[in-house]
Structure 1
Amino acid sequence: MNIKIRLIRPPVPKFNLNVFETNTLQIIPIEKQTQESNCNSIRQDNNSDTSSDNNQELSFDRKKLSAIVEEMKNQISLLGLNEDLLKVAIQLLQPQLLSELKKKKYTAIAIAIAGLIAALKQTYIPITQKEILAKISVSKKLIKKILLKIHNNYKLESVVYAFIQSISQNLGFNQKFIKFCIQVFKKIQQNNLIQGEHENVIAAAIVKYSGDIIFANRGGIIPSVIAQQAKCSISTFKIFHKKVFEKLYLLCKN
């Protein structure tokens, strides 16, 4: 039987978001890092016999590593983040990045920004790549290349949860709403609907989908409100939202 899908276009909501009960939400804390920094692998025993060229090479590595760390400190201060993030970011750096730096394929500031973005995901802090790059002129393509070389074994679920919490909290929604959003996210995962979308975009689509259901009699939530809190474009999260809506709509009908 053919099912005709009619996309719901809720009107602009007239309810006051601030009247909903709110609970204090705790962002997942920074995980303790026990492993030693990968950057230690570039250090060598000072007591061993080394040539003048080796000494110069080590001096170059130290200077560049210092430049990377200093840039990370500047960005952490600029964004008002916890200084502990620096330790996580340094531990994610790979020695081969310094090798690429020597070949002038990458810049110290690009490595610093990429390392910081990776650390944010590792610690589940809901700050987008867009927010960081908006304050500095670094090529997005270059950042992506470096991120691919950084071994960052983070959990997608935890990052999406953090963004759902952040968006919902800023809109004045309570813990029950957040739990419903997480249920929707699990359903999305079960149906393999995620195909490389950014975590904040996924979270924005989920909050929109959940809000349109829970607050249907109040007109749902207009996209611009969510996009503003998720720090993403309306068109970007609308594309993913449409996919989620159509797939889950069909599942409910079957």
Structure 2
Amino acid sequence: MKTIYYKADERGHANHGWLDAWHSFSFAGFQNPDKVHFGALRVLNDDMIIGGRGFGMHPHDNMEIVTIPLSGDLEHADNMGNKGAISNGEVQVMSAGTGIYHSERNKNIDRALKLLQIWVFPKLRDIQPRYDQRAFQVEGRKNQFQTLVSPLGSQDGGLGMNQDAWFSITDIEQGKELSYAPKLANNGVYAFMIEGEAEINGQLLSRRDALGISETNEILMKANTNSEILLIDVPMSF
């Protein structure tokens, strides 16, 4: 088994006033050759956007983009005609493929928007761009794993992604234990502590810490406090 411990306070940080962003991997002005990606996982940004502000229309291509609101409402629009808002409990997936333009804004004037935006390298390049979003019942993740994202065409219940990757989330109560098996032999798992404190394969993790785990067929976690944990199961070579 191989592990990489990513401390929360060692992430890149940029406060632009309207945007307060933490970067788990090299992004924009934060460049660290030891933190470029974990397998196919390329970006994990932990963003806070003040009321009424956001990103205007901008392009992406050949990247799988997952957005998970933690609080507030994210307003989305793109050049494929999709327009709407997503909130906590909802997830958005875009396959940028040959190219997509989109905007992201805090829908509300009076409160901040907090979200995770995650980029994964695609399995196939230059595919037709696609967009999807879905609301998930938060009760379905209590002391168990709820699949948010899974490979296109799979029957695992998540939003489809153009990669052999799975995103799962759990709200695990203090003292409870869970085990997780990577979906494919070549896959590793990036465990991100959204909230709380837990031990994962013997490593103590606190809020916003992460652990990259590969070359194992079982991941064990025990919650020291009520905890919210996101698991990103991705190919280590692609």
When normalised by structure 2's length, the TM-score is 0.25
Flag the structure with larger Rg.
Answer: 1
Higher RCO (C-alpha under 8 Å, 6+ residues apart): 1
Q: Would you tell me which structure has more helix in proportion to its own residues?
A: 1
Q: Would you tell me which structure has more strand in proportion to its own residues?
A: 2
